[in-house]
Amino acid sequence: MDPRPPHRPGRRLVRLGGLLTVLRNLGLLGHAVEADALLHVTADDGQRIPVCAMGSGMPVVLVHGLGCSHRHWLPVARRLSRHARVFAWDARCHGGCIAVPGAVITLQRLAADLQQLLDHFQIDRAVLVGHSMGALTVLRYVQDYGSSRVLAVGIVDQSPRVVTDDSWRLGLFGGCSRDMLHGMIASARVDLAELVAREVEAALGGWMRRRAGARAALAGLLRRWLGGFDARPLLDLAESLAFADFRPLLPRLDIPVWVVLGGRSPHYAGVPLEDYFRQTVRHASVTVYERSGHSPHVAEPVRFARELLRFLADHA
């Protein structure tokens, strides 16, 4: 198989509205207020993790992506809850989950949190469905803890390895090297405001470039606004996500796997992940949502919930 995608889509990850949502979910616009209806899991380091739980039946755990929260799963969760016991959390540094001081947050830590969620709710076996970062969390969980407590896995619009090189072109954008990502994360550690300003500028297109002084004013505002924000836990997490590699794990998976890809994903559109998953995971079911971007479960929740339930009825 030629691992090189036929074309590369644009590299803008989110539009302006989506960027504001990401910033809010990451705590850069103030942390979300925890809803009274949410339950909580207390991890072994004292971190309180908000969890939305609803329904009854087969346990299904929905794990959100970077810059998202449990709310992104709610339209799907409500439909699933008619047939299953559904759990959706706010991962550390996301939504209402404010990281404990001094915490080092990595993909390994999120996988441990997932294990402790299963322990807390006394779940013997569950379906684990992850979107983007959540998919990497699920794969890290299976890598670290095995599949004995996993009925099935859902992977939503995520490559098993984000960074690319000469031998692997199926990562982010079909061409995002380790040096590129490492440089971006390193620059964010030095000047987070500048990174956010670049993303806002990209989301606004040419609007800001046509207004003299707007870029400098935005950067100054962001520096004052973000001056007291400790981005280290988020950047530690981003670094662990960027350099994870689950390609060796996928051929060994001994559980049902459902892969959902967004046909218009700004991350992976044009990257032949469909062929890769079909050839690598011998028992995988792969579905492409042609009209959806990076979040098919948000764009088409009715279809997603219906097809997930059908997959579970057939395979789990």
Indicate left, alpha or beta for 284 from its phi (over 0: left) and psi (-120 to 50: alpha): beta
Return the pLDDT at 103. Answer: 83
The gap between the terminal CA atoms of the chain, to the nearest Å, is 31
* CA-to-CA separations, 282 to 136, 150, 250, 278, 315, in angstroms, rounded: 19, 18, 9, 6, 14
Residues near 119 by beta carbon (within 8 Å), at least 6 away in sequence: none
**Tens of pLDDT, residue by residue, the chain (316 residues):** 444 443 343 444 444 445 455 555 555 555 554 444 689 999 999 999 999 999 999 999 999 999 899 999 999 999 999 999 999 999 999 999 988 888 889 999 999 999 999 999 999 999 999 999 999 999 999 999 999 999 999 999 999 999 999 999 999 999 999 998 888 888 878 777 666 766 666 666 665 566 656 666 766 766 666 656 677 888 899 999 998 999 999 999 999 999 999 999 999 999 999 999 999 998 899 999 999 999 999 999 999 999 999 999 999 7
Task: Kindly list the strands in the beta sheet with 150-156, ordered across the sheet, starting from the edge strand earlier in the chain.
Answer: 39-42, 48-55, 84-89, 58-63, 126-131, 150-156, 257-262, 284-289
Return the pLDDT at 182. Answer: 86
Give dist(CA 254, CA 244) in Å, integer: 21
Q: Are 50 and 38 in contact (CB under 8 A)?
A: yes
Return the pLDDT at 9. Answer: 38
Q: What crossing angle do the helices spanning 107-120 and 133-145 adopt, rounded to 10°?
A: 70
Return the pLDDT at 1. Answer: 40
Q: Are 99 and 105 in contact (CB under 8 A)?
A: yes
Return the pLDDT at 200. Answer: 67
Return the pLDDT at 218. Answer: 65
What CATH number labels 31-176+244-315? Answer: 3.40.50.1820
